[in-house]
């Protein structure tokens, strides 16, 4: 990671606060020294933007181009869906592993996908909400034009413990995402299933 010559770059990294107090302190130090650079992660796979051929991850091959914006906190699920999507010819406008959100969070990515002309629907696999106010604000706005589906996990003790072990974040209650999505549901009511899911790969 670097802040080269005043150029702002996003980056991603892993194995910090989920590893314990020393990792959490190292994460804080990196955030203090980042300058104007935005950071994706920690503990994430990275970002794919298939329409421009960007693969800023350690996963291969690149996701197929399509119109679903997918954001996940689980790296294992990320790679599993990537493999499955290619076998079923399911395309994505963006394929994003967000990790435990030390800097860039749900609100940042949902806002971006809301303005992205390639994205027709947004799918989230969420372990922790993070900045709830930002999340709710962006969901309300973006759901006016694009359906947002949230899969909230970690509702049991065992699931919450597993999530914390690889993101370092508490899964928390699902009341906030449920509230945000239910409030936005009336805006997305006009979207049918064909709008939300498209298996047609965009060439």
Q: Which residues of 176-190 are buried (b: 16+ CB within 10 A; e: fewer)?
A: bbeebbeebeebbee
Is residue 102 pLDDT above 60, yes or no?
yes
Cis geometry, peptide bond prior to residue 42 (ω within 30 degrees of 0): yes
Q: What distance in Å separates the CA atoms of residue 130 and residue 11, rounded to the nearest whole number? A: 19
- Burial class of 198 by CB neighbour count within 10 A (0 to 12, 13 to 18, 19+): middle
Q: Considering the chain, what is the average pLDDT of its residues? A: 76
Residue-wise pLDDT for 186-197, tens only, equals 444 444 444 455
**Can you give the residue ranges of every domain in the chain?**
43-196
Give residue 1's pLDDT.
39
What pTM value is reported for the model? 0.74
Query: Which of 30-34, 153-157, 161-165, 185-189 is the most confident on average?
Result: 30-34
The per-residue DSSP string of the chain comes to ---GGG----EE--SSGGG-HHHHHHHHHHHHT-TT--EE-SS--EEEEGGGTEEEES-SSPPPEEEEEEEES-HHHHHHHHHHHHHHT--EEEEEE-TT-SSS-HHHHHHHHHH-TT-SEEEEEES---SHHHHHHHHHHHTTTS-EEEEE---SHHHHHHHHHHH------SHHHHHHHHHHTTTSTT--HHHH---PPP-
Residue-wise pLDDT for 105-140, tens only, equals 999 999 999 999 999 999 999 888 877 888 888 999
Q: Identify the CATH number of the domain defined by range 43-196.
A: 3.40.50.261
Residue-wise pLDDT for 37-66, tens only, equals 888 887 888 899 999 999 998 888 999 999
């Amino acid at each position: 990671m670097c802040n080269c010559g005043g150029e702002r770059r996003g980056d991603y990294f892993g194995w910090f606060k989920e590893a314990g107090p020393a990792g959490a302190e190292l994460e804080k130090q990196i955030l203090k020294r980042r300058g104007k650079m935005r950071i994706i992660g920690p503990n994430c796979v990275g970002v794919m933007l298939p329409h421009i051929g960007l693969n800023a991850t350690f996963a291969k091959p690149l996701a197929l181009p399509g119109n679903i914006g997918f954001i996940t906190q689980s790296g294992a699920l990320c790679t599993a869906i990537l493999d499955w999507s290619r076998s079923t010819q399911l395309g994505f406008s963006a394929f994003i592993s967000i990790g435990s959100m030390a800097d860039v969070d749900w609100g940042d990515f949902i806002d971006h996908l809301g303005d992205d002309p390639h994205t027709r629907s947004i799918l989230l696999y969420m372990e922790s909400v993070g900045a709830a106010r930002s999340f709710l604000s962006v969901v309300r706005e973006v759901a006016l034009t694009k359906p947002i589906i949230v899969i909230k996990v970690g509702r049991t003790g065992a699931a919450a413990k597993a999530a914390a072990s690889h993101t370092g974040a508490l899964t928390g209650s699902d009341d906030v995402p449920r509230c945000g999505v239910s409030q936005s549901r009336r805006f997305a009511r006009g979207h049918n299933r064909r709008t939300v899911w498209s298996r047609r790969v965009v060439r």
